[in-house]
Amino acid sequence: MKKRKSETNDGESKSSKLLFNKTEHLVKKLKPSENYEELKDTDKKPAWVDEDDSQFEGTTASNVRNNKDKPLYKDKLKQKYETLVGTPGWAKLETKDENETNDEILRTVGHLQKKKDKYNLSQHVLDLKRLTKINGSTRNEGTTISCIEFHPTASVALVAGTSGAVSLFSIGRETNKLHNFRVTGWNYITTADILPDGSEAYISSSKSHQFCVYDLMKGEPKLVELPSRITEPFDFKLSSDGKYIATCEGFDEVFLLRTGSYELLRCLKHNSNVVSLTFSHDSKELYSFGVTGEVTVWDLSTYRPIKKFNDDGCVNAACISTSACGKLLATGSKEGIVNIYQTSELTGREPVPLKTVSNLRTAITHLKFNPTTEILSVASKMYPNAVKMVHIPSYHVFKNVPEHDFDLNNVVTVNFSPNSGYMGLGNDMGAAYLYRLKHYKNY
């Protein structure tokens, strides 16, 4: 019995020595070499030092067999304590991952939150590559491509134009036609928007009293009658949450409808004829842009105006757009001026723009922020190659857009895929161009 007990103690002693000696050897091996920069100590320093602590000696584990094992034993106790109890909140170091998630990027904008240089979009040259035309296999959407819409979850693009035809294409290594249909009786499509869940597309024509709801799951279109008060929808916008439709006829009334039931919720009265509409990023507000340059902000919970202000220097209003992060608002005029505002500063009647862009000389007919609010596309369909890309937050205009050796003709529409990996441009020659934006890694 004694012999067996002695053998057990010897085995435990050997195991203990093996464990501690190997640990000591490993610690020595991990000492920094002269060829590498030593990492800074990330442990928090004590606020004070108690002299009595140095005299305190633990009595557990038979006071540790020899003094040289005390530091290791102390570390083992600390590790065991943290395993059982956890690290106290006051002892935790505040660390931050350099990599921002896509959701964080959508909620932030460059001039309000600085990111690491390696993640910043270059402010002078936009790294892009022109790919095969989206509609290269069909070219039956009309002489003017008025709509390019990217599906929110699948790598699919919807293209429509002046022929009344709507086509769906897969986007990726190869661009292939998936489906197309023609809206009976339509010879012009003005707008197209896809619901956030990707189930339906809402398509409108300024020449029709109806709008089309296309079921993307079943591949079936259906025509829906607008309320009798709406004859020809001049502008037709879907809210970012997919719950509302806002439309106007170019007069002083804005009509708000609910998707699904298509009922008319409210008629909003503007002080002048409305030329453009846009929803806020959270769909809680609606911006209506009057022809004289007055912007009215409507609270959609009460259907009342909560703000009114005049666009700086605007004589003839053209279009308006909000950023996905909700912090920027852009307005365009027929004089070719684009004003960019910080939405938090829209407090008075005459707010000062954050930046004014005046690179185009003809009427601004299209404004679009990319999903990360790092690019603002500005286009005028009145003049060939009248398209610019504005870098945010520097507000420099990318010098390689449009391409110097390629004719885009008159650009009518610009849009970006959900993660900005692709950009589509539609022109007045029936072409829907596709570009790969190399800075962004995902569709």
Residue 159 makes CB contacts below 8 A (sequence gap 6+) with 134, 135, 141, 145, 147, 148, 166, 167, 168, 169, 424, 426, 432
CB 397 within 8 A of CB 87: no
Q: Note the pLDDT of residue 45.
A: 52
User: What Å distances lie between residue 211 and 38, 102, 186, 424, CA to CA?
Assistant: 66, 33, 10, 24
pLDDT average per 10 residues of sequence, the chain (443 residues):
48 44 38 37 50 50 51 63 53 44 45 54 95 92 97 96 95 85 91 97 95 94 92 94 96 96 95 97 98 98 97 97 98 98 96 96 97 98 97 96 96 98 98 97 93
- Give the pTM: 0.74
Q: What is the pLDDT of residue 71?
A: 59
Any idea where the domains of the chain sit in the sequence?
117-437
Residues 6+ away with beta carbon under 8 Å from 344? 327
Q: What is the DSSP string of 72-101?
A: HHHHHHHHHHHHHT---GGG------SSPP
Q: Output the six-digit token pair for 365.
A: 């007919």
Integer-rounded Cα Rg, in Å, for the chain is 31
| Tokens describing residue 280 | 């806020």
Contact 384, 399 (CB under 8 A): no
Give the per-residue pLDDT at 187. Answer: 86
Please give the pLDDT value at position 51: 55
- ∠ CA 350-320-171, nearest 5°, is 150
Residues 232 and 249: beta-carbon distance below 8 Å: yes
Please report the pLDDT score of residue 175 as a whole number: 74
The whole-number pLDDT of residue 384 equals: 97
Instruction: Supply the pLDDT for residue 231.
Output: 86
Q: Which tokens is 98 given?
A: 């350099």
| CATH architecture of the domain with range 117-437 | 7 Propeller (2.130)
Residue 402: which region, alpha, beta or left (left: phi > 0; alpha: psi -120 to 50)?
beta
